[in-house]
Amino acid sequence: GGDSIAGTIVAETPAPVFAEPGQGTLAKGEIGAYYRSNGNAMGGNVSATFATESFSIAYAGATAESDNYRAGRDFKTSPVTGREGHTLPLDEVGSTAYKSRNHELGIAFKGGAHLVEAKVGYQEIPYQLWPNQRMDMLDNVQQRLNLRYRGVFGWGTLEARAWREDVEHFVRSECCDLIQIKMPDLGGVDNTIEASLECHRGNVGVYLGGSCNETDISARVAAHVALAVRPTEFLAKPGLGVDEGVMIVTNEMARAIRAYGARATH
C-alpha cells in the first residue's frame, strides 16, 4: 500500500541451479512442515530441482493456514463482535485467521554467458482476515508469469525482464464497502478501468483517484476514466493542491461532456 513516492524496491529471487561442469545431472529436493498450537497454525512446503549444465527445471509449493490466534491474557471486556449472534473468547484476537496455497514452476537455459529464465506462479488465498479494517480478503487468486534474460558482454551486462500478473479480489460487500483505486499507481489506465469494473461486479463501491503521484495531466486522464466507469466518488488530489485538483478535474469533465454532446448532435 501507499503512494510509492520515494521509489521502487527490486528484489532478486534465487538464481536457477545448474549442474557443475562434468557432474552430468543434478537432482535435489526438500520437504518441510510446521505446527503451532496458538491458532492451530500449520503449513508445509516442498521443492524439487532437476538440472544439467545448461538446463534447469524447479518446482516449489507451500501451504499455510491458521485460526484466530490468542493473546497472552484477556484483553477485551466483552465477547460481543460486530456480527450479530457471534461471540469470541476474551483472549482471542478476531479476524486473524488465514489460509494460502502457493505454487511456482521455473525453467532456465544457460549457454556461455547468457541466461534465459521463465517462471510461472499461482497463488490461492481462500481467506485472509484483517483485525483492524473491514477489508477481509476472500477467494483471492493470483496468476503470474515472469521472463528474464541476462547476458554478459565485453562492454557490460544486459538484463531484461518482462512479467504479467492477473489478480482478482472477490470481497463481500458487508466486509468491504468501498475500495480506493489510485491513478496512476496501478501501472496503466487499462488496469484502473478493470479494477473499477471488478468492484462494480462485486457490488463494492469505488473511490477513484486520490494519489500523491498524480499531476495535472494524470488528473485529466483520470477525469475521462471516471466519466466512463462511474465510480462512487472521484477524488481530486494531484500533488499541487486540493483546490487546484478540483478545478482541473471539474473543467476537464465539463469539456469532455460538452465535446461528447456536440458530437452526438452532428
Domains in the chain, number: 1
What digits encode the pLDDT tens for the residues 145-202?
999 999 999 999 999 988 877 666 555 545 566 777 777 665 678 878 888 888 888 7
Cβ neighbours for 204, distance < 8 A, ≥ 6 positions apart: 171, 173, 176, 177, 178, 179
Residue 2 has pLDDT above 60, yes or no: no
First to last CA, the chain: 46
Q: Does residue 159 fall inside a structural domain? A: no
The number of residues making up the chain comes to: 266
Q: Does residue 95 fall inside a structural domain? A: no
Residue 263 has pLDDT above 80, yes or no: no
Question: In which domain, by residue range, is 213 found?
Answer: 177-266
What digits encode the pLDDT tens for the residues 30-60?
999 999 999 999 999 999 999 999 999 999 9
Average pLDDT of the chain? Answer: 83
What digits encode the pLDDT tens for the residues 219-244?
888 888 888 888 888 877 656 567 77
pLDDT value at residue 1: 44
Q: Does residue 141 fall inside a structural domain? A: no
In this structure, what CATH number is given to the domain that contains residue 265? Answer: 3.20.20.120
Give the C-alpha separation, 21 to 48, whole Å.
21
2-16, 75-89, 166-180: segment of lowest average pLDDT: 166-180
What digits encode the pLDDT tens for the residues 111-122?
989 999 999 999
Q: Does residue 171 fall inside a structural domain? A: no
Does the pTM exceed 0.95? no
- Closest residue by Cα to residue 199 from 169, 175, 220: 169
- Cell numbers representing residue 86 in the block: 457471534
H helices of 90-232, where?
Answer: 189-201, 216-229
Give the other-Cβ count within 10 Å of 92's Cβ: 19
Q: What angle do CA 223, 225, 230 make, to 5 degrees?
A: 95
Band of residue 131 on the pLDDT scale cut at 50, 70, 90: confident
CA 224, chain centre distance (Å):
25
Q: Does residue 111 fall inside a structural domain? A: no
Q: Does residue 224 fall inside a structural domain? A: yes
Catalytic residues: 182
Q: Does residue 20 fall inside a structural domain? A: no
Q: Does residue 82 fall inside a structural domain? A: no
